[in-house]
Amino acid sequence: MDTLFFFASKIAWIFLSPGNLLIIGAVLGAVFLLFNRQRAAKWCLLPTAIIGFMVMAYPVGDFLMQPLEKRFSKPDHLPAAIDGIIVLGGGEDLKRALSWQTAELGLGGDRYIGAATLARHYPQAPVIFTGGSGSMQLQNTGSESDLAKTLLTTVGIAPARLILESQSRNTFENFVNTKPLLPKIDGTYLLVTSAFHIPRAVGIARQQGVNVVPYPVDYRSNSETYRYWDFDLFDHLKSLEPAWREWIGLTVYYLTGKTASWLPAENPA
């Protein structure tokens, strides 16, 4: 069932990705024009052009991203003692790392900086990395844990402190696979992942009975002061794509019982 869920989610995203939808709309419009279906072509091309222009011209994705990134904040005061630091995979670029045989960070690379910061603050705490490949084409490469170990030791964490899990393909599997590896099942763990991903990760952790203190990193949205018309499509998609995907993920995980609430809060009722 988990494998079916994984592949279904990847296939669905092909047709739900905002960037892909814009291309699909343009292609369908062109096809309708080829068959002289001008009315249908207008219904495809006009909204595609308007939405595409808005995404290119203004960071509209920030309006989807900021509610996620503001949902949880870094603790004002770190706990006096913890039982470990959980780092969710996603900050590494596995495809480029395999292509060039070198450790490469992706857009979520701040997860490793956050892990290093906390590891220095808690010099005795184990650092638990969880994350395999989220790509359908890059399963069972055997390189995920090696890449994570290289990156974590590069930022100054001793290999003896590491607990590595590299079989999980999504956030649900992160916690299911990591729970048996925790030093204390009922312990307290700092959770490091991207800020927009924290709500879903916390919801799953609570559902699995893992007590986590969120430590968000890797912010993608702009504050209102720095949100303006700049016609930077690539930069705007870096916020829109993960935000849209995360809202879909929150909804699907809630409907399938993987989390107990649709949008987990800092102080759940």
CATH number of the domain residue 196 falls in: 3.40.50.620
Give domain status of residue 45, yes or no: no
Please state, for a pLDDT cut of 90, what percent of the chain lies above it. 78
pLDDT of amino acid 14: 92
Q: The domain containing residue 132 runs over which residues?
A: 75-218
Q: Does the structure show a pLDDT above 90 at 72?
A: yes
Give domain status of residue 132, yes or no: yes
Give the mean pLDDT of 92-119.
90
Give domain status of residue 89, yes or no: yes
Q: What angle do CA 213, 242, 90 make, to 5 degrees?
A: 55
Give the mean pLDDT of 80-89.
95
Give domain status of residue 207, yes or no: yes
Higher pLDDT, 34 or 133: 34
Give the mean pLDDT of 85-103.
88
- The set of residues, in sequence order, having a beta carbon less than 8 Å from that of 248 and lying 6+ positions away, is 13, 16
pLDDT tens track for 233-265: 999 999 999 999 999 999 999 999 999 899 998
Give domain status of residue 101, yes or no: yes
Give domain status of residue 237, yes or no: no
Structural domain count of the chain: 1
Give the whole-angstrom CA distance, residue 189 versus residue 81: 9
Give domain status of residue 131, yes or no: yes
**How far, in Å, are 148, 175, 181, 199, 242 from residue 210 at the CA level?**
22, 8, 12, 14, 25
pLDDT of amino acid 144: 72
Q: What pTM was estimated for this model as a whole?
A: 0.91
pLDDT of amino acid 71: 96
Q: Does the structure show a pLDDT above 50 at 176?
A: yes
Mean confidence (pLDDT) of the chain: 92
Give the mean pLDDT of 85-105.
88
Give the whole-angstrom CA distance, residue 75 versus residue 2: 33
Give domain status of residue 48, yes or no: no
What count of other Cβ atoms lies within 10 Å of the Cβ of residue 84?
23
Q: Does the structure show a pLDDT above 60 at 269?
A: no
Q: Where are the alpha helices (DSSP H) in the chain?
A: 2-16, 18-34, 38-57, 62-69, 94-100, 110-121, 144-154, 171-178, 198-207, 233-255
